[in-house]
């Protein structure tokens, strides 16, 4: 029996939003332009991605989509959106070769990765992280990875880039217990770390140094030395992290693709607020927008009838905050407030395709019944918005994270906003969300072209129930940074009258 979207909504949690939700969603959706594909672009999936110029031009039918920004003038700007849903295996093989070459400079001829972020980055093997350990190992001369993996994922791991491996049934694993093979044992708990190293030894190890991405515990080191006497164990986690921090052109293009959907989501949420404003809640706007944009995204991904390894790492979540909750960077209260006049608001969330994307927040003010905007809110909005622009301008190769943070905080203080500062201006942006380095006073990392950051020099005033936080995906350039999002930072976009 096929369940359609309306049946799902009527029977699920969206029912609490009221019977008028579907009509409201359909009306707002009808305002959104559906760009015609560019015949000159050959997409590798079911979606046709047009040039950035055409993509923006074709949005003219939607009230808010027509306001989205076009290409950024100048030498650097966001790349054309990728036409693929995930990085191809050839990309992973190339990165692994680079990784091996860098390890060879340290005299390391094999590596063991246990951090899921590193496993996914290097091999492209997307998997769910639980208490079940997974790892990958490769020698310098190995053509394919060796894995430690649980039986629950045996089809996934063997369906991608697989050479060999050691499988255990589940956590905790009983020695010889493989129910899927009709073999049952009880209570003979296996040390999976030892099990992994014994499997690697059986596979064969090149050289006398084993690189690993993290610290072994004291107990693990004892076991490692027993199984590999005379070997050195070298932490090469910094090499893997450095590679993940420096984004390749393919990663940036995939990130830009994620933002084409995120931009449309912002336009949808803005139109929803303008259309129904005082008749709804911030929760409803966020939930409706998420449902609409996810339906759009998933219908355009190459899912191959839900085949494994298709559509991996793709998700968009949108929330809207209105009123007092905007005054808290990380609120602990539920998002549920009536949209009304004279309040601050924030449209926020994350968007990823193939694990690449990031944050996109816009902060704004709703006019009072007289059509005026609160002067105190306007002041905080203007100062925080200006510091966003400062970050983009200063985020160039050779600058330091601390110098940018210092300049932004100094401007905030000089404008009389010291009491409203609650956190650093930005964090590094990666597939895990927060990633080193950090635009913080204590981080002296020198920026390199291709490093990516959020954009969050927010200001918050709990006493007056308002706050303004922003974010984007700012890429470090040679002369300045550039943003991935095309959502405006203007008063025309962010100041609403309902």
Q: What is the pLDDT along the chain (498 residues), one digit of tens a residue?
A: 344 444 544 444 455 455 577 788 777 877 765 443 333 322 333 334 444 334 333 433 468 988 999 866 555 789 999 999 999 999 999 999 999 999 999 999 999 999 999 999 999 999 999 999 999 999 999 999 999 999 999 999 999 999 999 999 999 999 999 999 999 999 999 999 999 999 999 999 999 999 999 989 999 999 999 999 999 999 999 999 999 999 999 999 999 999 999 999 999 999 999 999 898 999 999 999 999 999 999 999 999 999 999 999 999 999 999 999 999 999 999 999 999 999 999 999 999 999 999 999 999 999 999 999 999 999 999 999 999 999 999 999 999 999 999 999 999 999 999 999 999 999 999 999 999 999 999 999 999 999 999 999 999 999 999 999 999 999 999 999 999 999 999 999 999 999
> Which string of b and e fits 95-114 if b means at least 16 CB within 10 Å?
bbeebbebbeeeebbbbbbb
pLDDT score, position 446: 98
> Which string of b and e fits 298-329 if b means at least 16 CB within 10 Å?
eebbeeeeeeeeebbbbbbebbbbbbbbbbee
pLDDT score, position 61: 47
Helix (H) or strand (E) holding 466: strand 466-468
Residue that is written with structure tokens 């298709």 in the block = 310
Rounded to two decimals, the pTM is: 0.90
Helix (H) or strand (E) holding 452: strand 452-453
* C-alpha distance across the termini of the chain, in Å: 42
| Residue 146: strand pairing partners | 137, 164
pLDDT score, position 63: 86
Query: Which tokens belong to 464?
Result: 């007056």
Query: Which tokens belong to 460?
Result: 């918050």
Respond yes or no on whether the N-terminal peptide bond of residue 395 is cis (omega within 30° of 0). no
- Do residues 31 and 271 touch, judged by C-beta distance below 8 A? yes
**Per-residue CA distances from 277 to 172, 191, 343, 421 (Å):** 52, 58, 12, 30
Residue that is written with structure tokens 């059986």 in the block = 202
d(CA 50, CA 19): 37
Compute the half-sphere exposure of residue 469: CA atoms within 13 Å on the CB side of its CA: 29
Question: 10 Å Cβ neighbour count for 213?
Answer: 21
| Residue 189: strand pairing partners | 174
d(CA 370, CA 391): 35
- Do residues 249 and 79 touch, judged by C-beta distance below 8 A? yes
The contacts found for 304-311 with CB under 8 angstroms, 24 or more apart, are 308/155, 308/156, 308/159, 309/86, 309/126, 309/156, 309/159, 309/160, 310/85, 310/86, 311/85, 311/86
């Amino acid at each position: 029996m096929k369940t359609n979207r309306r049946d799902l909504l009527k029977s699920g949690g969206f029912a609490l939003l009221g019977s008028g939700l579907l009509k409201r969603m359909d009306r707002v959706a009808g305002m959104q332009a559906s760009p015609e594909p560019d015949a000159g672009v050959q997409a590798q999936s079911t979606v046709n991605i047009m040039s950035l110029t055409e993509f923006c031009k074709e949005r003219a039918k939607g009230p808010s989509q027509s306001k989205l920004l076009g290409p950024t003038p100048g030498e650097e700007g966001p790349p054309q959106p990728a036409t693929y849903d995930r990085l191809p295996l050839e990309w992973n093989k190339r990165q692994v070769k680079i990784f091996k070459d860098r390890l060879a400079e340290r005299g390391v001829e094999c590596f063991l990765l246990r951090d899921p972020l590193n496993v996914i980055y290097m091999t492209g093997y997307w998997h769910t992280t639980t208490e079940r350990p997974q790892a990958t190992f490769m020698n310098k001369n190995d053509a394919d990875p060796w894995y430690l993996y649980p039986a629950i994922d045996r089809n996934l791991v063997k369906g991608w880039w697989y050479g060999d491996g050691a499988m255990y049934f589940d956590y905790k694993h009983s020695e010889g217990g493989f129910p899927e093979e009709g073999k049952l044992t009880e209570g003979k708990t296996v040390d999976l770390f030892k099990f992994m190293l014994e499997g690697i030894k059986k596979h064969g190890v090149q050289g006398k140094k084993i690189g690993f991405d993290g610290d072994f515990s004291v107990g693990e080191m004892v076991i490692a030395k027993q199984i590999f006497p005379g070997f050195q164990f070298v932490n090469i986690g910094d090499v893997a992290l450095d590679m993940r921090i420096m984004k390749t052109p393919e990663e940036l293009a995939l990130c830009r693709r994620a933002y084409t959907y995120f931009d449309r989501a912002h336009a949808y949420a803005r139109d929803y607020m303008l259309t129904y404003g005082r008749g709804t809640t911030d929760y409803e706007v966020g939930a409706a927008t998420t449902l609409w944009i996810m339906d759009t995204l998933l219908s355009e991904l190459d899912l191959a009838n839900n085949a494994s390894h298709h559509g991996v790492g793709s998700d968009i979540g949108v929330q809207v905050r209105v009123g007092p909750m905007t005054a808290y960077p990380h609120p602990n209260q539920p998002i549920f407030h009536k949209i009304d006049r004279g309040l601050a608001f924030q449209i926020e969330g994350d968007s990823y395709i193939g694990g690449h994307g990031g944050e996109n927040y816009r902060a704004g003010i709703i006019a009072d019944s007289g059509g005026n905007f609160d002067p105190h809110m306007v002041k905080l909005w203007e100062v925080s918005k200006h510091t966003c622009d400062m970050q983009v301008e200063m985020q160039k190769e050779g600058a330091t994270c601390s110098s940018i943070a210092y300049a932004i905080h100094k401007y905030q203080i000089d404008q009389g906003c010291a009491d409203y500062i609650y956190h650093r201006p930005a964090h590094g942006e990666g597939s895990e969300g927060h990633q080193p380095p950090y635009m913080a006073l204590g981080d002296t990392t020198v920026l390199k072209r291709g490093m990516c950051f959020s954009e969050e020099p927010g200001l918050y005033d709990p006493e007056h129930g308002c706050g303004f936080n922003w974010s984007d995906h700012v890429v470090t350039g040679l002369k300045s940074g550039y943003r991935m999002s095309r959502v405006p930072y203007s008063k025309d976009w962010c100041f609403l009258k309902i």
